[in-house]
Chains A and B, each alone.
Chain A
């Protein structure tokens, strides 16, 4: 058994080296360019991974299912119906009969296996094949506890995605959001977390305090959010792994609209004093606070650039709420949102790639809300989603997908949606209850 795996691993390493050597050709062939708008999804075959006992066989079925669903939801892949498959790949060492897979028009094939090890651990391994070229594009094995099989499946899906698109993936991630229940005039709101595919859903707070606007740390298992605990709205930090909570700083008024600095060592937020909101940052190590704005307008919704050298924020200092960008020390604030007609812009969120800022826009001309993106200098504005109320964009860690929530009129349903940066592939993210204020985690470490 061990020897066989060693052989496999060696083969995988050799195969990986081989991929590196042939990559320029292979990559140019089986490739999806996701920057180019609407893409015809690539047909891909993801047969159930064979297992070395009944339990592993079931797990192999589930792993393949998670991978296929991840790839399908991206809008870039079309997993083929398993019933049509002509060849059973009973182990990782069986050579695919590429002619059989070609007749199904599969462009890529995922071959895998799940094995229980003598020490109780499991090993999940896969190869990604270019069906038409008959070449292995990628291959890898993962040794882990059986309980981690879903994460491994997401990691494999990420590797398939990145091999074929040339972009990093976003499947091994989580979503923290606000779960809503009860009547609209007295809504119960709870912090909730789930995998990006909806699995492993759990509530983090019990609903006794109103909670809003959670945001993930870019570096650790931590979130920052607003809680009305004891009827005092304050920014809190919450460690997801330990459950430990702490209030951020000691301010005389409300603190709100928090977001982490890109290095995870600071938080920027708004603080209101005597009716005036300004923007602050706090260093989480020294607890030193810096005031970034001092303006009679409402300054709120601050968000660092990924480099940490600038902060985008919303302000009504010019009369209506617009987006501004300033240096991280608060100097040189410049308005960047103008738009056509009378639009109000809020909740700027910098893309992890740094090239775009997502925003919420309210158009007084038609009374609708929009989710859109613009460059950090305000040029190139594009609107991606529209609705009676759409709000709170959050980026996938690769900067290719946005999630947001949409609320129906008259106190109707609130739901999460995702949409590609291209404006295509809008999907509902199904949650057990109504949902708002989503925040996407970075790729899990």
Chain B
């Protein structure tokens, strides 16, 4: 007795690219905050808390970018000034990315961003041996909503002072 060959349906084309285009507004709105004198009730000027909240420890990047815009440069100048004032402090610069890239590419991009921050601080006179870098790619976001407002916050270089 003959077996029937199973029916086969031809392969379908799988992709139809959608047309709607999302607007991508890479907003780097971080304002340049010049290091101000601490108010009597605020954190001590040599404290990590002061560095993080008054000097500002985070700079942001554009989509797929690792160049430092004016706001970022201004903040990093403040970081360099503070670091030179407190030479016992060392720091680790973390490079981070938004979630819209592959894991491995983002690790490379985060490394680029961390090193861009390091190079700037070095050029401002902070000794290279005080600055470590680490890339977290998209592994350690600051926020988790899937929108540009959050992505732009996650594309960052964070200076973690020890």
Binding between chains A and B:
yes
Tell whether, in the assembled complex, residue A423 and residue B14 are in contact, meaning their CB atoms are under 8 Å apart: yes
Tell whether, in the assembled complex, residue A130 and residue B3 are in contact, meaning their CB atoms are under 8 Å apart: yes
Q: Which residue of B lies closest to A36 (CB)?
A: B8
Q: Which residue of A lies closest to B10 (CB)?
A: A37
Q: How many A-B residue pairs have CB under 8 A?
A: 171
Besides A132-B2, A346-B104, A409-B146, 13 new A-B residue pairs in contact (Cβ under 8 A), listed by A number: A33-B8, A130-B3, A132-B3, A133-B1, A185-B144, A212-B139, A272-B135, A275-B111, A346-B105, A363-B17, A364-B24, A365-B21, A411-B144
Q: A210-B139, A254-B107 are in contact. Are A386 and B15 (CB under 8 A)?
A: yes
Q: How many residues of A contact B (CB 8 A)?
A: 76
Residues of chain A within 8 A of B24, CB atoms compared: 364
Q: A40-B8, A386-B15 are in contact. Are A277 and B139 (CB under 8 A)?
A: no
Q: A37-B8, A38-B12, A275-B115 are in contact. Are A257 and B104 (CB under 8 A)?
A: yes
Shortest beta-carbon distance, B48 to chain A, in Å? 17
Q: How many residues of B contact A (CB 8 A)?
A: 52
| Residue B68 interfacial (CB < 8 Å) | no
User: Could you list which residues of chain A lie within 8 angstroms of chain B, going by C-beta atoms?
Assistant: 29-33, 36-40, 42, 107, 130, 132-134, 184-187, 189, 210, 212-213, 226, 231-233, 253-254, 256-257, 270, 272, 274-277, 298-301, 314, 316, 320-321, 340-341, 344, 346-347, 360, 362-368, 370, 372, 382-384, 386, 388-389, 391-392, 407, 409-411, 422-423, 437
Shortest beta-carbon distance, B138 to chain A, in Å? 10
Tell whether, in the assembled complex, residue A366 and residue B103 are in contact, meaning their CB atoms are under 8 Å apart: no
Tell whether, in the assembled complex, residue B135 and residue A392 are in contact, meaning their CB atoms are under 8 Å apart: no
Q: A32-B6, A33-B8, A314-B102 are in contact. Are A367 and B143 (CB under 8 A)?
A: no
Residues of chain B within 8 A of A368, CB atoms compared: 18
Residues of chain A within 8 A of B6, CB atoms compared: 32, 39-40, 42, 107
Q: A36-B8, A254-B107, A314-B102 are in contact. Are A274 and B115 (CB under 8 A)?
A: yes
